[in-house]
Chains A and B, each alone.
Chain A
Amino acid sequence: MAVAVVASALRVGLRGCGRLGRPACGLRWQSQTQEPSAYPGIVESTEEYKFVERLIPPASIPEPPRHQSYPTPSGWQPPKDPPPNLPYFIRRSRMHNVPVYTELTHGNRQMTLIRKVEGDIWVASVEVAEALVKGWLPPQVRDQIQTQQHHQEGEPGMR
Chain B
Amino acid sequence: CNFRAPQEVVLSLGVGARCGYASDSGSLRSLGTRSGPNPSTKGPPRPAGVPLLRRCELPVPQHRTPVQAWVESLRGYEETCLGLADLHPDVFAVPPRLDILHEVAIWQKNFKRISYAKTKTRAEVRGGGRKPWKQKGSGRARHGSIRSPIWRGGGIAHGPRGPTSYYYMLPMKVRVLGLKVALTIKLMQDDLHVVDSLELPTSNPRYLLDLIRHRCWGDSVLLVDVDEDMPQNIVSAVSNLKTINLVPAVGLNVHSMLKHQTLVLTLNTVAFLEKKLLWHDKRYTALYPFRLPYSDFP
Q: Does B23 contact A (CB under 8 A)?
A: no
The one of A59, A82, A151, A156 in contact with B40, judged by C-beta atoms closer than 8 angstroms, is A82
Assembly CA distance A86 to B40 (angstroms): 12
Pick from B4, B95, B188 the residue with the most CB of A within 10 Å. B95
Cβ-defined contact, A87 with B37, below 8 A? yes
Cβ-defined contact, B35 with A118, below 8 A? yes
Q: How far is the CB of A122 from chain B (nearest CB, A)?
A: 13
Cβ-defined contact, A153 with B35, below 8 A? no
Interface string of A98-122 (1 = CB under 8 A from B): 0000000000000000000011000
Query: Main secondary structure on chain A at its contact with chain B?
Result: loop
Which residues on the B side are within 8 Å of A60 (C-beta)?
A: 279, 282-284, 296-297
The one of A56, A59, A118, A152 in contact with B290, judged by C-beta atoms closer than 8 angstroms, is A59
Query: Main secondary structure on chain B at its contact with chain A?
Result: loop
Known: A83-B39, A85-B37, A89-B35. A59 touches B294 (CB 8 A): yes
Q: Does B256 contact A (CB under 8 A)?
A: no
Which residues of B in the span 71-108 have a Cβ within 8 Å of any Cβ on A? 93, 95-99
Which residues on the B side are within 8 Å of A118 (C-beta)?
A: 34-35, 63
Which residues of B in the span 191-235 have a Cβ within 8 Å of any Cβ on A? none
Which residues of B in the span 1-46 have a Cβ within 8 Å of any Cβ on A? 1, 3-6, 31-40
Q: Does B117 contact A (CB under 8 A)?
A: no
Cβ-defined contact, A56 with B293, below 8 A? yes
Q: Does A91 contact B (CB under 8 A)?
A: yes
Cβ-defined contact, A61 with B282, below 8 A? yes
Which residues of B pack against A, CB within 8 Å? 1, 3-6, 31-40, 61-63, 93, 95-99, 184, 188, 279, 281-284, 286-287, 290, 293-297
